Each structure stands twice: as structure tokens, then as C-alpha cells.
Amino acid sequence: MQKNIYEENNYNLESVKILESIGAQKALFMYQRMLEIREFEERIKLLFLEGKMPGTVHQYIGQEACAVGVCSALNEDDVIASTHRPHGHAIAKGLPMTELMAELYGKITGCCKGKGGSMHLGDMDKGMLPAIAIVGGNIPIVMGMGLAFKLRGEKRVAVSFFGDGASNEGAFHEGINMAAVYKVPAVFVCENNQYGASTNRKLVMNIENIADRASSYGMRSDIGDGMNVLDVYKRAKEALEFARNGEGPTLLEFKTFRLCGHSRRDPNNYMSVEEKDFWKKRDPIPLFENFLVKQGILDSGKITEIRKAVEDKIEEAVKFGQESPEPAAEDTYNDLYINMEVPR
């Protein structure tokens, strides 16, 4: 773990090396993906507050570097599983924003045909399990996905995203232990955003690092800066290769922060002003943007161009979501069993 993990800006010589290894094009792609998540979430917040969107939403603002850093390190046929806060993971995995927005509106054109909604975004055709909104619930499932790869001798890796809160669930203990015992090709990515809903991790855990728990399972672990997308990328890449080579899973913790409420209209009054200010300075998007400018990869003209492209995609997604047809009420009966009608 880096000593300066909570420093304001962790972009340094190491970041320059990572940038050189991935190249400018990939870096710009990662920058754009982070912006897409941010702008998608900002737009949804407005639509939700205006009462134009049904259901509830758990937003990913502030954590973009985690999803984008990890997903940029995946192979095409690797799979991921997310949580009740899945918008960022879905965009990072390449699910079209049009289908995601339609799903949030409960439309038939959504990635789950309107049956999933915000908390279950996903599409296995694109390598993302419908998000598991039970805290910790995806950890044993991802272990099982890795087990399937291992039994068939495939060089694929399954990745679980979860939060600090999930590491206190029984499912974490059982899933992580079995993953370690069977050495399944999996990476368990804990996005430690400091809060389980309104509860600070320090109130419910006596340890500073969730990754420390890995030692009690005999599992490899690593800790990275979840506000530095290049640091996330590098550590994810190492964990993925470790798994792919048959050496076993990793518990990979990223220190991050939710720069928004837990859900709906949460004003997060349980966070101090100082804490919010501290993390606001570590917003992963301006940090990465400034770094890329300093490295001569971005300039104001290019930034404007990328932002415009992102805005256009969001506009298209909102339009698609709003104008897509509703499912028929009777579609409720579809998609449960494969070879059987639902008994009525």
C-alpha cells in the first residue's frame, strides 16, 4: 500500500509509467468513460428530483475511477457483478447508456426489459450479471462463476464489486474463504467509500483496512487509491493476471468516497463539512484531467470536444429512455421460467 494513499493528489512518476504503458488513446478512453458516468449520474439526479423517474437510485458520483480502472483492465470475456449502486459499473463494462436509461425508466427496451430497474442493471451478453442489490450477495456468486471457469480450464476471471459494508456480511466470509480454498480465478474489489448508507465504517469495524481481512483466508490482497484511475488500473491488472495464471483470487481494496447521498434525496448530513471538503479535493475526474493536461495529452479544446461528445450521448440516452415504449402489464408473466408458463 502506498504511504500517501490519502494525499490530495496521488498522480506521480508511477502514474507517468502506467500512462506510458497503456498509451494516450486508452487514457483518453478512460477519461471519457469516467465523464460519462459522472454526467449520467448528474442527469439522473435531476430527472429523479424532478419526479420524472420512477423507483429509487443509488448513485456512483465520486467512485468513477474504481469502476473504470478495473473494467479497463478486463479481457473481453471476463465477467463482473455489481451491487445496489451499479450505474458506474454498467457504463464502465460497456453497456449502452441508452439501454441503461431505458431500464431506469422501466421500459421494455431496457437492458433487463424493465424487470430489473436501477438496482439490477446488467446484461450477461455483455459480461455483467444483473446487479445484486443484497449487500454482499454477489460475493459467493462470483466465487461460483470463477469455479465454473476453473472446472472448464478457461482463462477467464470473474470480478465482484462490493463496498465496505459488505465485508461485514456472512456472505463475504463464506464466499471469500471458498474462493481462497478453491483458488478460483476471481478478483474481489472492495470499494471502501467509508460509509454503509449513513454509518461510518469506523463505527462498525475495528480495522483500518478491509484488505487486512484477506490474511485470515490465506488470500492475496492489495490496497490502492480509488481516486486515481491509473492506480486502480494497475492494481486491477496485477490481480487479474494473478487470477488468470491460476494463482488464485485477490481481495483488492480501493479507498474512495461517495460524493453524493446514499440514495434518493439523501443530503448526507452524517458527513462532516471537513470530510466532504477533503474528499471533494480528491474528486477523481479533475485529478485525472489535470494529470493528462500536464502530460500533454489533453488541452482545453480536447476537453470541450470530449465533454460535448459525452453530453450528446447522455441526451440520446435520455431521449431513448423517455420515448421508448412501456412494457405491457401482462409482460409480468414473462421471463421467469424457460420451458414453463407461470401458473396463474
**Residue numbers at the binding site for another protein (CB under 8 A):** 79, 110-116, 120, 122-125, 129-130, 132, 134, 137, 139-149, 151-152, 158, 170-171, 173-175, 177-178, 181-182, 334-340, 342-343
Closest CA to 145 of 187, 108, 111: 187
Nearest approach in angstroms of CB 148 to another protein is 4
Say if residues 123 and 111 touch (Cβ distance below 8 Å). yes
Q: Could you tell me the smallest distance in angstroms from the CB atom of residue 185 to another protein?
A: 11
Cβ 318 to another protein, closest distance in Å?
21
CB-nearer residue toward another protein: 79 or 271: 79
Q: 146 or 284, CB closer to another protein?
A: 146
Q: What is the nearest approach in angstroms of another protein to the Cβ of residue 184?
A: 9
Q: Which helix (H) or strand (E) holds 222?
A: strand 220-225
Name the packing angle between helices 284-294 and 24-49 (round to 10°): 150
What does the block give as the cell for 174? 463464506
Q: 51 or 343: whose CB is closer to another protein?
A: 343
Cα–Cα–Cα angle for 204, 201, 255, nearest 5°?
Answer: 150
Nearest CB to another protein, comparing residues 96 and 144: 144
At 106, is the secondary structure helix, strand, or coil?
Answer: coil
Output DSSP code: residue 283. -
Residue 153 CB, nearest approach to another protein (Å):
10
Distance in angstroms (rounded) separating the CA atoms of residues 140 and 86: 18
Which residues have a Cβ under 8 Å from the Cβ of 305 and sit 6 or more positions away?
none
Residue whose CB is less far from another protein, 27 or 251 = 251
Q: Of 131 and 285, which has the nearer Cβ to another protein?
A: 131
Compute the least distance from the CB of residue 310 to another protein, in Å: 27
Centroid of chain to Cα 268:
21
Q: Biggest alpha carbon distance in the chain? A: 64
Least spacing, CB of residue 163 vs another protein, in Å: 17
Residue closer to another protein, measured from CB, 73 or 171? 171
User: Beta-carbon neighbour count of residue 187 at 10 Å?
Assistant: 31
Coil vs helix vs strand at 200: strand
**Cβ of residue 218: shortest distance to another protein, in angstroms?**
13
Smaller CB separation from another protein, 40 or 149: 149
Which residue bears the cell 472448464? 152
DSSP state of 73: T
